[in-house]
Amino acid sequence: MENQGENKKIYFEYLDVVRFAAAFMIIILHAYEAWCGWYGKLGILTGGTYKDLTNGGTFLHQFIKNLGLGVDIFFLISGFLITYILLEEKKRFNTIQIKKFIIRRTLRIWPLYFLLIIIAPILVSSVNASTPNYLANIFFVGNFEIIQAAKWPYPFAHFWSICIEEHFYLVWPFIILFIPNRYLLRTFSILIFTSIAFRLYTYYNSEHPWYTLFLHTISRIDVLVIGAIGAYFYSRKPFTFKLNRITRVLFFSLLIISLCIEPVVKWNSVFLAGFKKFFYIGIIAVLLLDYNFNPMFKHILKKKSFIHYLGKVSYGIYMYGNVLLLIVIKKIMWKFQINNAWAFFAIVIFLSLAVPIISYELFEKQILKLNKRFRVIKTER
């Protein structure tokens, strides 16, 4: 029976494209914020000045600032994939080998994560960045350290999302294994409502709630669980999901327009703090379901492309991002007195792809080969 289960490979190839899109969103956001921080707003958004935004520039500025939703897309994908793999293992073998699961996630996350921590002193000194709390990051509580300090320890501030995912990986296999499947949906619902209740409590009882709302594991766990709900239903019975063309255009247009006119992370009212993000997550989830489970896209995107490959290195794209930004600004832009935004973004995008690719091929990929020893179900990775 084990061989039969082993032969059925789990791989959602279109999620590689989504992974890259999410990572690219974060790169553009961080690059834009870095440029604005050092040089002022882009002239293309301000009618030639670096102060006031034009009407069109206001919309584009807001859209770029909302690209932080890329992290939520990562959370949705992680919640779906991790839960689906665990449910399939439980279904096929009537158990989950938690030790092997933890080892697999460790082999994927830890090597690059700790490589950056090891070389952090060199990077920090070379670009005169703020010194991060190494101990907090070593124990994957960097998100709580940022909440406590109320400041971003660049260039490693983005480690907060990895910390949240690690917390998820430590708890989730036990939930899937020990809670009977018939109670899982109820459990997921309780977790989502707990996350909402936590945000509402924080909003009413904290003088400066922003960092906690944005970075606390409980505050962000609901999106991972929403992805898990999709995995729960797909594991019970694989399905297709099809939007007609008009509905797809309407959903996509609604998302784009909303991102252009309203900040995603604006939490100055109880509704915005507790429920607002579900509007965006709901639209994104529907579009992702259509993209991944619509038979039409299987015919259109049936061949793997370079974008699929970039999805495999998306973790590196995300992890190296802030480090490369500081290097580009302080070691290239300032040193050679380059003040051209197009040159800046071109260099950032090139390095944000080239460095992770090299890292993946020469470092991460070699370690990932060890994953086969601890694999219970075949996956593409």
Q: For position 155, what pLDDT does the model report?
A: 75
Tell me: pLDDT of 299 over 70.
no
Q: For position 380, what pLDDT does the model report?
A: 64
Tell me: pLDDT of 55 over 80.
no
Instruction: Give the pLDDT confidence of 148-207 residue by residue, as tens digits.
Output: 998 888 778 899 999 999 999 999 999 999 999 999 999 999 999 999 999 999 988 987
Q: How buried is 253 (Cβ within 10 angstroms: 0-12 exposed, 13-18 middle, 19+ buried)?
A: exposed
For the chain, the average pLDDT equals 88
**CB contact at 8 A, 288 and 76:** yes
The residue type found at 236 is R
Q: For position 53, what pLDDT does the model report?
A: 67
Give the phi and the psi of residue 41 in degrees, each rounded to 5. -65, 150
Q: For position 28, what pLDDT does the model report?
A: 96
Instruction: Give the pLDDT confidence of 335-380 residue by residue, as tens digits.
Output: 888 888 899 999 999 999 999 999 999 999 999 999 888 888 877 6
Bigger pLDDT: 79 vs 15: 79
Nearest by Cα to 142 from 222, 227, 215: 215
d(CA 224, CA 172): 10
Q: For position 295, what pLDDT does the model report?
A: 74
Instruction: Give the pLDDT confidence of 206-241 residue by residue, as tens digits.
Output: 877 889 999 999 999 999 999 999 999 999 988 778
Instruction: Give the pLDDT confidence of 115-141 residue by residue, as tens digits.
Output: 999 887 787 777 766 777 889 999 999
d(CA 142, CA 98): 25
Tell me: pLDDT of 7 over 60.
no
Q: For position 285, what pLDDT does the model report?
A: 92
3-class secondary structure for the chain? CHHHHHHCCECCCHHHHHHHHHHHHHHHHHHHHHHHHHHCCCHHHHCCCCCCCCHHHHHHHHHHHHHHHHHHHHHHHHHHHHHHHHHHHHHHHCCCCHHHHHHHHHHHHHHHHHHHHHCHHHHHHHHCCCCCCHHHHHCCCHHHHHHHHCCCCCCCCCHHHHHHHHHHHHHHHHHHHHCCHHHHHHHHHHHHHHHHHHHHHHHHHCCCCHHHHHHCHHHHHHHHHHHHHHHHHHHHCCCCCCCCHHHHHHHHHHHHHHHHHCCCCCCCCHHHHHCHHHHHHHHHHHHHHHHHHCHHHHHHCCCCCHHHHHHHCHHHHHHHHHHHHHHHHHHHHCCCCCCCHHHHHHHHHHHHHHHHHHHHHHHHHHHHHHHHHHCCCCECC
- 379: which strand partners? 10
Q: For position 201, what pLDDT does the model report?
A: 93
Tell me: pLDDT of 319 over 70.
yes
Q: For position 301, what pLDDT does the model report?
A: 60
Query: What confidence tier does 4 reach under pLDDT thresholds 50, 70, 90?
Result: very low
The residue type found at 157 is A
Angle at 226 between CA 221 and CA 232, to 5 degrees: 120
Quick count: other Cβ atoms within 10 Å of Cβ 306?
Answer: 9
> What is the percent of the chain where pLDDT is above 70?
91
Tell me: pLDDT of 5 over 50.
no
Instruction: Give the pLDDT confidence of 64-83 residue by residue, as tens digits.
Output: 999 999 999 999 999 999 99
- 98: which strand partners? none
**CB contact at 8 A, 352 and 327:** no
